[in-house]
Structure 1
């Protein structure tokens, strides 16, 4: 089974210079152009048979646009939402400096979740998607933090490793699970943005 991991396009939070996370911002005009390039790339090169997507607006619109162009079903899953950064969601970067960041992996953001809870949430939904899958190629349309957590799980990286996979707007990654091995085809392909 091949799994496309797709990040949403640019959102309004990028222009407002605020923390996003669980804040539910829509795509910008640029974000929609990015999604258009993404759609052409995926449709031509590796169209999925089924799409799973986060319920947050920026990922939902990205997934809907892709699903309509390809003509495949899409299912929305709340567990694929971005990291719950609590009170920092939608807060300016300046204002957020007045609120302490968690010191340890088990500490929560105020009204949010801990990094351990986030990783476990994503590993759980990823496991469910993989084990219930009946398609040859699926796509998961979500967020940078979600994709990072999936890749860390795929690589069986320990919780305390501080590696970060840079995933750009509409970045595409492809991994594959077979009976015998795990294959990484590519991570963070954004070539479809060159003409935008």
Structure 2
């Protein structure tokens, strides 16, 4: 079984210098172009049998563009949404640094942000959706998962059985990772592929 992890295209929040997270901004026009290039590339190189997606607008639109290109079924899961950043969602980064400064040494992993979730809760959510996908979609050869940078990073850590803190896996706009599960052997085929944006 192969898991094709795909980050959404550029969103309006990327241009506004705000905390995105659960703030539900749509794709920019550039983001739609990026998604179309990604979809064409995926159809030619790694066509999935099924698409799973976060329901947030930026991921939803990216997934719908992919579905139009591929023609397979699509399913949305709340567990694929980005980090629940609570009171910071949609707030300008400048205002957030004044109103809600990080505690000295950073926020402890077990303490949730106000009205949001903790790092540990976020990681557990990634673990939960990984196990659900591996169980519920095991009969598919390749499943595409359209999500967000933070969730994708935690998903890869969960896939590799790595700790939740101290490092991250970066993903650019419409970046693609390909993971493979062969019985109990886990393989990373490639990470953050963005060559489709060069065309």
Scaled to the shorter chain, the TM-score interval is over 0.9
Q: Which of 139, 143, 157 is residue 148 of structure 2 equivalent to? A: 143
Question: Following the alignment from structure 1 to structure 2, what is the Cα–Cα distance between the partners of residues 62 and 106?
Answer: 32
Question: Following the alignment from structure 1 to structure 2, what is the Cα–Cα distance between the partners of residues 2 and 18?
Answer: 34
What is the TM-score when the length of structure 1 is the normalising length?
Answer: 0.96
Structure 1, 109-118 or 96-105: larger mean CA deviation: 96-105
Where in structure 1 are there 5+ consecutive unaligned residues? none
Which secondary structure state, in structure 1, belongs to the residue aligned with residue 155 of structure 2? helix
What is the TM-score when the length of structure 2 is the normalising length?
Answer: 0.95
Q: Which of 117, 135, 153 is residue 113 of structure 1 equivalent to? A: 117
> CA offset at residue 180 of structure 1?
4.1
Q: Which of 179, 182, 185 is residue 183 of structure 2 equivalent to? A: 179
- Report the equivalent of 1:25: 25
> CA offset at residue 100 of structure 1?
3.0
Which secondary structure state, in structure 2, belongs to the residue aligned with residue 97 of structure 1? helix
Post-superposition, which runs of at least 4 consecutive aligned residues in structure 1 deviate over 4 A?
none
Distance 1:97 1:175, change over 3 A: same
> CA offset at residue 58 of structure 1?
0.3
Output the aligned Cα RMSD: 0.9
Which secondary structure state, in structure 2, belongs to the residue aligned with residue 59 of structure 1? helix
Contact residue 130 and residue 159 of structure 2 kept, 8 A: no
- Report the equivalent of 2:161: 156
Question: Following the alignment from structure 1 to structure 2, what is the Cα–Cα distance between the partners of residues 93 and 22?
Answer: 15
